[in-house]
A = this chain, B = another copy of it.
Amino acid sequence: MEIERKFLIGTMPDLEQYPKKHFVQGYLSTSPTVRVRREEEEYFLTYKGRASEDHMAREEYNLPLTKEAFAHLLPKCDGNLISKTRYFIPLGKNKEGSELTAELDVFDAPFEGLVFAEVEFPTVEEARSFEAPDWFGEDVTDDRRYYNSYLSQCKIS
């Protein structure tokens, strides 16, 4: 089960100091989500089940692929491929003692300029009580326009 919230960015932090990974991903299906992803030199098939009503929790399986299987599956994906760099920004401990990390995604073309951050939580309660840092912007957890699967289906003009 993945429990997370998603935010736009109010003030961009200096990203150079943080660890990062480059992702390329596409969608074979969006309901449920069946995604293929390259994370640097690792390859995964991801299945995400139906989201909970508050959009914060959903069943998720990350299953390993070979490089060859990824290359075979990527052309079967629909719509736009998504290429982005994810920065891992430590947020310190919350009041329950969990170490939280903002995963800040900076998108490449055709979504250049798009940036948002996700924070994953061990429990729904901690997700609800999360106090966002000052540099976070609007909470867009419920906004499907910021789903990567939605971006994959956008018409690019």
Quick one: copies of this chain in the complex? 2
Establish whether residues A34 and B73, one from each chain, have CB atoms under 8 Å apart when the complex forms: yes
Contact segment of A61-69, A122-130, A132-140: A61-69
Establish whether residues A47 and B68, one from each chain, have CB atoms under 8 Å apart when the complex forms: no
* B-side contacts of A65, CB under 8 Å: 29, 32
Establish whether residues A73 and B29, one from each chain, have CB atoms under 8 Å apart when the complex forms: yes
Identify whether the interface residues of A are mostly helix, strand, loop, or mixed: strand
Complex interface residues of chain A between 50 and 99 (CB less than 8 A to chain B): 61, 63-66, 68-69, 72-73, 76
With A45-B47, A61-B61, A63-B47 already in contact, the answer to whether A68 and B32 are too (CB < 8 A) is no
Nearest residue in B to A68 (C-beta to C-beta)? Answer: B31
* B-side contacts of A9, CB under 8 Å: none
Q: Which of B28, B32, B64, B69 sits near A66, CB closer than 8 Å?
A: B32
